[in-house]
Amino acid sequence: MAQTYAAKYLMKAAVSAPRDLLNAAVATMRPIHPTVLIFHCTFVCDAQCEMCSNWTRGNRKEDMSLEDISRVLDSKLWKNIEVAFVSGGEPTTRNDLVEICELMLDKLPRLRKFGINTTGLTPKRGIPMLTKIAELCHERGVIFSTRVSIDGVGEMHNQVRKVKKGFDKASETIAAMRELQKRVPFNFGISTTIFTMNLDDADNILAWARGEDLDIVFNMVRFTEPMLGNADLEATCKPIGEEEERMRQFFMDRVRMDPLLDGQNYIYMHYADMISNGYHRQAPCPFQTQGIMLNPNGDLFFCENSAVVGNVLQKDAEAIYFEQASQDHRESIKTEQCPTCLSPCQMNVSAVKQVLPYVKFLYRASKEKRKAPRIAARVAAQGAQAAK
């Protein structure tokens, strides 16, 4: 069933390619309605992660209510949203998460891909919610993807997330999602954020995921106030010097050893490039022209490195987005933030939308892949050394 689902996903991407190209061309000339949305539905969280500070700013009273969200979604701003993600904080801490997702599915007429990241740490609440959301997406023909965050195997995960038995709880959610996949088709896997604390565990996590036959994506740690509230964690969480080089090598090894067309390789090469070139971004980003981010209290941002351009509870979202001051701010993001921005946000969406950078990537990645046998020998030698 998973293979049929992947084929359906690729078909949908291919069908939308001409419109994606047209959108990208128009966006170079004038502002267009966004096609990609990240909605942080709450910052309330069921973990206290070392590399993210959202858990410190969770405030249920500040979260938009279901009624607020319904009203906000009536704006014309969202009419072209094709890809939407619900994140946080921990989305499943909201009692009305299923209703929020249902509203989004009903009110975003062009939606074709819907995603949620979850800790999976409260299985009794989360599993029924995710089940219902997967069913709703399936009924509407929207591709659903969800990932459980896993930052280490066993105790390492508990330490990163500061949750007792966190790995066991997340594993319960993982098992339930895999069981659900037998009945409802959706994309499922795990997501791992690599930073100072778990860098040495990265190969271990990868081996565990492979052993469990789990799709895994790795995030390189980054620091953003609007999205993660964690600008002050850079000093403790960012690998530097020899550690940073090991992290670069880990991402480059993925490019060399994982299948060429694995969507994540494009992002992994971007991480490795950023480290080796002193953080000069070369990769495209859909948020420059087609993205939008909404925080729990209604604050609207162009992306994770944007300032607040307005609050959707006070003014119509479309009016905020298109007003001159907002568009001027977007231009300033392009010159001041993008050149050093690490964000992978939906780069693989933009790979389809911006063909040339992707073709360049394929050329470089296939050259790197010729080094794979040497890398495999090195990793095996390291494994043997560690086992002694």
Ligand X SMILES: C[S@@+](CC[C@H](N)C(=O)[O-])C[C@H]1O[C@@H](n2cnc3c(N)ncnc32)[C@H](O)[C@@H]1O
Q: Which of 63, 82, 273, 304 binds ligand SF4 (CB under 6 A)?
A: 304
The reply on whether position 338 binds ligand SF4 by CB under 6 A is yes
368 belongs to the binding site for ligand SF4 (CB under 6 A) = no
Q: Which CB sits closer to ligand X, 232 or 331?
A: 232
CA 88 to each of CA 21, 114, 253, 368: distance values in angstroms, whole numbers, following the listed order: 31, 15, 30, 36
Q: What's the closest the beta carbon of residue 271 comes to ligand X, in angstroms? A: 11
Return residues touching ligand X (CB under 6 A): 45, 51-52, 54, 87-90, 117-119, 149, 191, 193, 219, 221-222, 228, 230
Shorter beta-carbon distance to ligand X: residue 89 or 185 = 89
Amino acid at 343: S
Nearest to 82 by CA among 130, 114, 106, 107: 114
Provide the 3-class DSSP secondary structure of residue 218: strand
Shortest separation between residue 191's beta carbon and ligand SF4, angstroms: 10
Kindly list the distances between the CA atom of residue 278 and the CA atoms of 204, 230, 281, 282, 339, in Å, as whole numbers in the listed order: 28, 21, 9, 12, 11
Strand, coil or helix: what is 243?
helix
> Which of the residues 186 through 225 are near ligand SF4 (CB under 6 A)?
none
Q: Which is nearer to ligand X, 81 or 342 (CB)?
A: 342
Angle value at C-alpha 289, between 141 and 350, nearest 5 degrees: 55
The interface region with ligand SF4, picked from 181-189, 233-241, 271-279, 299-307 by CB under 6 A, is 299-307
Where does residue 36 rank: exposed (0-12), middle (13-18), buried (19+ CB within 10 A)?
Answer: buried
Residue 285 near which of ligand X, ligand SF4, none (CB within 5-8 Å, type-dependent) = ligand SF4
Helix ranges (H only) for 108-165 are 123-140, 155-161
Joined together, the tokens standing for residue 238 give 């960012």
Structure tokens belonging to residue 287: 């948020």
Burial class (CB in 10 A: 0-12, 13-18, 19+), 211: exposed
Candidates 145, 146, 264, 288: give the one binding ligand SF4 (CB under 6 A): 288
Contact set for ligand SF4, span 52-111 (CB under 6 A) = 52, 54-55, 88-90
338 binds, among ligand X, ligand SF4, none (CB under 5 to 8 A by kind): ligand SF4
User: How far apart are CB 134 and ligand X at their closest, in Å?
Assistant: 17
Cβ nearer to ligand X, comparing 89 with 152: 89
User: Which chain residues interact with ligand SF4 by CB under 6 A?
Assistant: 45, 47, 49, 52, 54-55, 88-90, 119, 285, 287-288, 303-305, 333, 337-338, 341, 343, 345
